[in-house]
Amino acid sequence: MDSKTISGFSKLNKIGKIRWIAENFFKDPEAVVHELKSFWYANEAKQKVLDGFSENTISNFPMPFGVAPNFIINGEAYTIPMVIEESSVVAAASSAAKYWMSRGGFKTQVLGTVKLGQLHFKWKGDFQKLVALEKRFASYLKHEVKDLTYNMNKRGGGIAGVRFKDLSSEIPNVRQLMIEFQTCDSMGANFINTILEKASEILDRFLVQEDSLTGEEKDYEKIMAILSNYTPDCLVRAEVFCSVDELGSFGDVEANELASRFCTAVQIARVDPFRATTHNKGIYNGVDAVVLATGNDFRAIEACGHTYASRDGQYRSLSYCEVKDGQFRFWMDLPIAVGTVGGLTNLHPIAKRSLELLGNPSAEKLMQIIAATGLAQNFAAVRSLVTTGIQKGHMKMHLMNILNHLDASEEEVDAVSEHFEDNTISFSEVRKYVDRLRSA
């Protein structure tokens, strides 16, 4: 067996895993062992909690935990927790929040909270017979899973709808049962998947017992059952608006021109997938940062958003802009499925603090906070693009990363910051300037 492969790795303790990795993949094993251990929590209980989140854990991977103050959302003030490593994101969100604070803030509303699960199966009968049985099966299903849904029903959630879908034109005999769920303040993944697994057995029994079906129409073969991360009806809207005059000038760009350029930039992202991809990535700079900070699943939320951006067959901007009758309006409808109880939201110590910082919001309120942050990030990025350009602000934030890489002293940081206040920042130019300071 090659020294870089191993049998029984998962059975090694954490030190054993680290030593095997260090000795087989690194030139200085002892230094690697020491470095990986240095990122462990000193508090063993806290470390045990983190180790339990994943498998084969050997260390922790720290990420910056920042905050963006001055968000006014539906008249309420928030300081937003953000976990992200990209320079300028938190600064841009904070800038946009402060800008809109004096212009009415962000207005948000939840448009829907439906989450979805799918059961795929093979069935050779007349699909219209299944459609005709939807209401009867829905009642049967709810009765059969009432013990599993009891607590969720008490909180106002549970199974919200049932429908069948025919996929047989694409895949012979394949059908789908789509179940709609309300999961209140929990993300609900385990709840949904448990119901779906049970629904497979229940549908099988239902088809066998149904008098209107005969012969092969009673034959059922389960393919798979799992929730869908595409939740187009778990939707939140965030918007900002003011008179064009209130936009003010930005650099050398006056309000009317700013409004015109801004709307055109958003329209370009509506029609050009190449631009739309970067445009939406900027939205998720803000969205993902809050989702991570609150212990939610940024991968599911982003996958859902990108699918939603393609819902008419072309990938488009998630945000919209219009100037009408002297009014500027910028808004976004975003599918976001999050939870504020259960899972990492209760287990991760910083996620708990993030939710406390936000006032321990309900899932619906957290949806609105996340959407407002994404819109703020998008506003700041587009405004920079159509005025001063994105690099000026971005590179100023990146300057500290460069100086840290060069191990600059406090005196050198001050001198470099002053020199590059009005000069173009690049790694090579900063290094040259630092070298000149050190050789003087």
Spatial CA neighbour of 208 closest among 125, 132, 147:
125
Concerning whether 414 is annotated as a catalytic residue, the answer is no
Cα→Cα distances 170→118, 129, 174, 359, Å = 17, 19, 8, 48
Q: Which of 185, 239, 297, 302 is an active site residue? A: 297
Choose the catalytic residue: 35, 86, 217, 322. 86
Rg (CA), the chain: 27
The yes-or-no answer on residue 394 being catalytic is yes
Asked if 373 and 68 count as a contact pair (C-beta separation under 8 A), the reply is yes
Burial of 57 (0-12, 13-18, 19+ CB in 10 A): middle
Ranges of H-type helices in 242-385: 255-271, 273-293, 298-308, 344-347, 349-357, 363-385
Rounded CA gap, 17 and 295, in Å? 27
Q: Is 318 helix (H, G, I), strand (E, B) or coil?
A: coil
- C-alpha 240/C-alpha 72 separation (Å) is 11
Q: In whole angstroms, what is the distance from residue 344 CA to residue 349 CA? A: 9
What's the angle, vertex CA 272, arms to CA 270 and CA 275, rounded to 5? Answer: 95
Considering 14, 124, 129, 281, which one is annotated as catalytic? Answer: 281
Which among 45, 46, 79, 39 is positioned nearest to 63, based on CA atoms? 39
Catalytic one of 115, 198, 348, 394: 394
Q: Note if 86 is an active site residue.
A: yes
Roughly what angle, to the nearest 10 degrees, separates helices 29-38 and 14-25?
A: 140
Catalytic residues: 86, 281, 297, 394
